[in-house]
Amino acid sequence: MNLPKSTHAGIGAAIPISLKDSPAMKARVTITLKNGVLDPQGKAIHHALEGLGFGGVNDVRAGKLIELDLADGTSDADIEEMCKKLLANTVIENYRIERA
Amino acid sequence: MKTAVIVFPGSNCDRDLAVAFEQATGKKPHMVWHRETELPEGIDLIGVPGGFSYGDYLRSGAMAAQSPVMRAVSDAAGKGTYVLGICNGFQVLTETGLLPGALMRNAGIQFVCRDVKLTVANSQSAFTSHYKADEEILIPVAHHDGNYFADAATLDRLEGEGRVAFRYAEEVNGSARNIAGVLNEGGNVLGMMPHPERMSEAAHGGLDGKKLFDALASA
């Protein structure tokens, strides 16, 4: 349904406005194996792609995507700590944080 | 010697390890649930058993490393208490930071479950003193993530300091420099992928694992 905004003006109007002021914060953490770390899963996927006749693939690396739904005020430093302490194992993995 | 075995949801070698501890020490170990924040008084040896703690979610051992009891295990390890991590226990100890490196998916992708030949690379530690130097032993493995990885500098340091306890004498999982078990700097923490508790009675088909528990009991 595509009701014009004016329909909601009046009773209850404060709620959508406050939601608009503080949209849900999301962050997306992409975890990949460091360069030089053997990726057996990537290799298997590569092999399977070749088996399907896709010849143009030079290399495959498999990783992980973790989406975080965050409370207001969660800082970049907080997310960084989450990555270092749990989400990624920095011995073998890199992480990239994107805020949405 | 007083012993404890840590039990996580998903542990499945905890009772086998308890039997091995009891046979070696003559005393039943304390079974310690992962939610405990303290270990019983006067524990000399802690076993972190194999299995699939927390369903191997995120990474093998990653969730268990954050459980309350592991803080107590880390504190005890810092004070010199012996800690033995087997299979998933080894993964937990690397994730906790008590041991260097990481255990990745086996190079051949497949779960490997068979008896493998190991070489005792350090026969001087509290865990390995009943073995002869370079002795070849037969111990079963059963794991999917046993491919030991550490950067070259760490591997050089581990080898230089005699902290490689066991090596695979055959290709098993792609581990760097065939490392099957490593010691911490203090020599009181050992992590290993093979299961000595599954080679500790004649009915198991051999006694090569029993020597490790006997060595600890006399340490």
pLDDT tens digits, B79-136: 999 999 999 999 999 999 999 999 999 998 899 999 999 999 999 999 999 999 999 9
Confidence of residue A100 (pLDDT cuts 50, 70, 90): confident
The reported pLDDT for the residue numbered A21 is 46
H or E element, residue B64: none
Q: Quick check: B147 and A41 CB within 8 A?
A: no
CA distances to B161, B212, B217 from B18, in Å? 31, 14, 13
pLDDT in tens, A5-32: 444 444 444 444 444 445 568 999 999 9
The reported pLDDT for the residue numbered A38 is 86
Residue B103 near residue B64, CB atoms below 8 Å? no
Taking alpha carbons only, the member of B44, B77, B75, B72 closest to residue B216 is: B44
Taking alpha carbons only, the member of B162, B28, B146, B154 closest to residue B89 is: B146
Residue B23 has pLDDT above 90, yes or no: yes
| Mean per-residue pLDDT over chain B, rounded | 97
The token pair that represents A61 in the structure block = 């690396």
CA distances to A21, B164, B170, B179, B195 from B158, in Å? 54, 6, 20, 10, 22
Closest Cβ opposite residue A40 in set B102, B109, B150? B109
The token pair that represents A41 in the structure block = 């899963």
Q: Quick check: A92 and B62 CB within 8 A?
A: no
The reported pLDDT for the residue numbered A20 is 43
Q: What is the mean pLDDT of residues A54-61?
A: 94
What residues of B act catalytically?
87, 195, 197
Residue B103 near residue B146, CB atoms below 8 Å? yes
Closest Cβ opposite residue A92 in set B66, B102, B109? B102
Residue B45 has pLDDT above 60, yes or no: yes
Domain boundaries along the sequence of chain B: 3-217
The residue of chain A with its CA nearest to that of B144 is A40
Sign of CA dihedral A78, A82, A88, A90: positive
- The helix/strand/coil state of B180 is strand
Residues of A in contact with B96 (CB under 8 A): none
- Residue linked to tokens 């029993």: B210
CA distances to A36, A63, B131 from A96, in Å? 18, 11, 46
Instruction: List, in order of start, the domains of chain A with CATH numbers.
Output: 23-99 (3.30.1280.10)
Confidence of residue B170 (pLDDT cuts 50, 70, 90): very high
Residue B212 near residue B165, CB atoms below 8 Å? no
d(C-alpha B86, C-alpha B169), whole Å: 18
Give the residue with greater pLDDT, B182 vs A25.
Answer: B182
The residue of chain A with its CA nearest to that of B95 is A89
A87 in B contact zone (CB under 8 Å): yes
Q: What is the mean pLDDT of residues B13-20?
A: 98
The token pair that represents B69 in the structure block = 């009891």
Q: What is the mean pLDDT of residues A46-53?
A: 96
Residue A96 near residue A30, CB atoms below 8 Å? yes
| Mean per-residue pLDDT over chain A, rounded | 83
Taking alpha carbons only, the member of B8, B3, B4 closest to residue B51 is: B8
The reported pLDDT for the residue numbered A36 is 85
The reported pLDDT for the residue numbered A7 is 43
Closest Cβ opposite residue A91 in set B101, B147, B174? B101
* Predicted-complex ipTM score: 0.86
Taking alpha carbons only, the member of B111, B73, B105, B109 closest to residue B92 is: B73
H or E element, residue B167: strand B164-168
The residue of chain A with its CA nearest to that of B151 is A91
User: Please, which residues 15-34 of chain A have a Cβ atom closer than 8 Å to chain B?
Assistant: none
* E strand map for A1-100: 25-33, 63-70, 93-99
- The helix/strand/coil state of A68 is strand
Q: Which fold has domain B3-217?
A: Rossmann fold (3.40.50)
